Structure formats: C-alpha cells, structure tokens
Amino acid sequence: MKEAFKTLPWWVRWIAIPAIALVVFGGILVTVLAWVVGLLFRVLLFAALVALLIFVVRKVTSSSSSSGGGW
C-alpha cells in the first residue's frame, strides 16, 4: 500500500486524495462540527444561567439579612 502511494505524484497525495475525502465525508464532518458547536453553546449557556442564579440568590439573601426582614 505504501509503495502505491509513493509512486503517485505529490499533487495526487496532497491535493486530490484529501479533496475526494472532503467530498465523500464532508457532510459527516459538518454534522459533527455543528453538533460540537451546539453542545459547547449549551454548556456555556448553562454555566451563565447558573452563575446568574447564584448572583441573584446571594444578592437577595444579603439584602434581606441586612434589612432584618424577609421578602
């Protein structure tokens, strides 16, 4: 197998074969990449919402404990 690739011109090894691979597997790569980006967005959104919740809870509990009353 290595001998077959060694006999090919450089442009076939470095341009034509990767281009064919992108055409054949391009849809799969785009799907996987979109799924990873979507997952990363959801993780960041979750972290931001949890941080906001913690901030609001601390703000409410600190203001209620300093005023001496409840809600």
Instruction: Give per-residue pLDDT as tens, 13-40.
Output: 999 999 999 999 999 999 999 999 999 9
pLDDT number for residue 14: 94
Within a domain: residue 57?
yes
Within a domain: residue 71?
no
Within a domain: residue 37?
yes
Within a domain: residue 21?
yes
Within a domain: residue 70?
no
Within a domain: residue 51?
yes
HEC profile for 13-71?
HHHHHHHHHHHHHHHHHHHHHHHHHHHHHHHHHHHHHHHHHHHHHHHHHHHHHHHCCCC
Structure tokens at 28: 């799969």
Q: What is the pTM of this model?
A: 0.61
Q: How many domains does the chain have?
A: 1
47: containing domain: 2-64
pLDDT number for residue 12: 94
Within a domain: residue 27?
yes
pLDDT number for residue 69: 53
Q: By the 8 A CB rule, do 71 and 64 touch?
A: yes
